[in-house]
Structure 1
Amino acid sequence: MPPKIQQKSKEQKMAAAMAGGKGKKKKWSKGKSRDKVDNKVLFSKEQWERFESEVPKMKLITVSTVVEKLKINAGLARRALNEMADEGTIRAVCVTRAQRIYTRNVGEDEEEE
């Protein structure tokens, strides 16, 4: 008989909780927090050499891909890509205020020869 008494007490507790008695307060979640990435704001000598060697070989060059690959700031990537486009090592496909798309400079080298 003792197990029945325990079950009744559990049922009574459940009924009290369902009836709007003092239950636990709802805990509001703070939401998902993203990890803050600490990207560099200036090139080191090794990063600049890596930038000059890797970026002209990429098929699709955007600011975000350069930021992800080299762990640099987006403003630094934009300026470096502008400089590289002015030199002629990469070619601009679409440059708008929102998105800059570059590609490697393959076709023009063949036409010059």
Structure 2
Amino acid sequence: MPPKVQQKSKEQKMAAAMAGGKGKKKKWSKGKSRDKVDNKVLFSKEQFDRFHAEVPKMKLITVSAVVEKLKLNGGLARRALRDLEAEGKIKPVLISRSQRIYTRNVAEGDDE
């Protein structure tokens, strides 16, 4: 048979609470949470046309700019930008492991 657990009286509980040490636990804040965005992983016909119309006219073209503007997934934006580069509609400025920066192709007829 397990030993009996001695119950504390009300006075003993009050005395323990007044002694300090075991007050209320600190409530940690949950922090700020961002809303999860639902970006597309495939082009629709309208998005594809909008991509080919708007992106070659942008002065600074990055993956994050395309993701924000067209609500696309990052992988889809990277792939589409590589296709635009292969077609000659945009030209690379900086290509590194982590970031690709493109600009519009001014030789195509976009004179400033």
Q: Shorter chain as normaliser: what TM range?
A: 0.7 to 0.9
Q: Deviations over 1:13-69 (max 9, x none)?
A: xxx97x737643211122221211110000000000000000011000000000000
Partner of residue 81, structure 2: 81
Q: Does 1:51 align with 2:51?
A: yes
Measured in 2, the distance between the counterparts of 1:21 and 1:100 equals 56
Q: Which runs of 4+ in 1 moved over 4 A?
A: none
AA aligned opposite 1:83: D
Measured in 2, the distance between the counterparts of 1:101 and 1:25 equals 50
Partner of residue 40, structure 1: 40
Partner of residue 3, structure 1: none
Let me know the Cα RMSD of the aligned residues: 1.8
Pairing of 1:1-113 with structure 2 (within 5 A): 20=20, 23-106=23-106, 108-109=107-108
Gaps of 5+ in 1: 1-15
Measured in 2, the distance between the counterparts of 1:21 and 1:67 equals 52
* Aligned-residue identity in percent: 75
Distance 1:53-1:20 versus aligned 2 partners, 3 A rule? same
TM-score, length of structure 1 as denominator length: 0.75
Higher share in helix:
1
